[in-house]
Amino acid sequence: MIIDCHGHYTTAPEPHNVWRDLQKQNFKAGGNTDPAYPDISDDEIIESIEKNQLRLIKERHADLTVFSPRASTMAHHVGDESVSIAWTRRCNDLIKRVVDLFPETFIGVCQLPQSPGVPISHSIAELERCVNNFGFIGCNLNPDPSGGHWTAPPLTDRAWYPFYEKMVELDVPAMVHVSGSCNPNFHATGAHYINADTTAFMQFLEGDLFKDFPTLRFIIPHGGGAVPYHWGRYRGLADMMKKPHLRDHVMKNVYFDTCVYHQPGIDLLFKVIDVENILFGSEMIGAVRGIDPETGNFFDDTKRYIDALAISDADKAKVFSGNARRVYPRLDANLKARGL
């Protein structure tokens, strides 16, 4: 079985996006930030999925995608908390509809109603709604709701603890995932995303979060940002800071996906990072949608890179499904209930 741990609904029906535009206009004008939501038919949702993600999932021989709202449009920096709450609920509701229409192919992960300066405890209710009512198996946690200005405390700060306590209680992991950048220094997917992945890892290294939460789990996407490439730097910094070995200090709780869009990058990831810590992901249809002229294949067809690795079938099975089932226990339970 092949589980893609990183997919977003980047092809949501247009009325959903129109609603968001109206919401933003209303906020600017001091109006209703939760206007009436348009009727979106099942057929519109089915078309948006069948022509896009589902087609590619079939073409690339994957089975199941862990599916969440489009990350770049979470835009927690837009508006205020009421804007974020209303938008987040609409986005998560839409994911739930996709999962209900394609229960064999998608399982949900939620966006959170984060907002700059607002305590993360305010996101607990939405996590509970999505996990308990919708059967979602995790969440996307934005370490920088300001959208590129980094005004929130580090992920190891106690300000985040109430949310972590709920994650542990519900036994769900979070993917550390920023959203759009409103800082022109940082291109969203080219710089802000990779910065955030790298930054989150370094925060975990500097702190002692996993002493307080030994079962808390994070997926750092996009291959862990710059971390695998600079693994020696991080091992050296941990040593200088008198931290335990990274294997014990961070890597019992942190996982990287395979959203790295060329073979040499995947080769390096697998050379440096223990196979137990790598989850198959493609982020399709997402940040990079074109065809690599050097290979003739889509950049984000990441399964090809794993297939090409000289690792055992047992290790490939871990990357394609075993590790995901371990990191997302609710996914494992869902699959077991289906006899898978």
Footprint on this chain of Zn ion (rule: CB under 5 A): 71, 283
3-state secondary structure of 6: strand
Please identify, using beta-carbon distances, which residue of 71 and 98 lies nearer to Zn ion: 71
Smallest separation (angstroms) from Zn ion to the CB of 225:
12
Q: At what angle do helices 81-101 and 42-50 cross, to 10 degrees?
A: 80
| Rounded least distance, CB 50 to Zn ion, Å | 21
Distance in Å, CB of 193 to Zn ion, minimum: 7
Q: Which is nearer to Zn ion, 283 or 300 (CB)?
A: 283
Nearer to Zn ion, 89 or 177 (CB): 177
Nearest to Zn ion of 228, 286 (CB atom): 286
Q: Return the residue matching tokens 């508006």.
A: 79
Outline where the chain has alpha helix (H): 14-28, 42-50, 53-59, 81-101, 124-128, 161-170, 193-206, 209-212, 231-240, 246-249, 263-272, 303-307, 313-317, 323-327, 329-337
Q: What is the signed CA dihedral for 151, 157, 162, 163, rounded to 10 degrees?
A: 60
Side chain identity, residue 146:
S
Q: Kindly tell me which of 71 and 83 has the beta carbon lying closer to Zn ion.
A: 71
Active-site option among 44, 128, 165, 283 = 283
User: Shortest distance, CB of residue 219 to Zn ion, whole angstroms?
Assistant: 10
- What one-character-per-residue DSSP string does 98-163 give? HHHHSTTTEEE-B-----TTS-GGGGHHHHHIIIIIT----EEE-S-TTSSS--SPPTTSGGGHHH
Contact 223, 305 (CB under 8 A): no
**Residues written for the chain:** 340
Q: Which helix (H) or strand (E) holds 66?
A: strand 64-69
| Angle at 172 (CA atoms; ends 167, 173), nearest 5 degrees | 95
Q: Is 283 a catalytic residue?
A: yes
Q: Cβ 283 to Zn ion, closest distance in Å?
A: 5
Greatest distance between any 2 Cα atoms in the chain: 59
Which residue's beta carbon is nearest to the bound Zn ion?
71
Rounded to the nearest 10 degrees, the angle between the axes of helix 193-206 and helix 231-240 is: 30
For residue 329, the tally of other CB atoms under 10 A from its CB is 16
Of the two residues 176 and 246, which places its CB atom closer to Zn ion in the complex? 176
The CB-of-6 to Zn ion minimum distance in angstroms stands at: 6
Task: Please give the positions annotated as active site.
Answer: 283
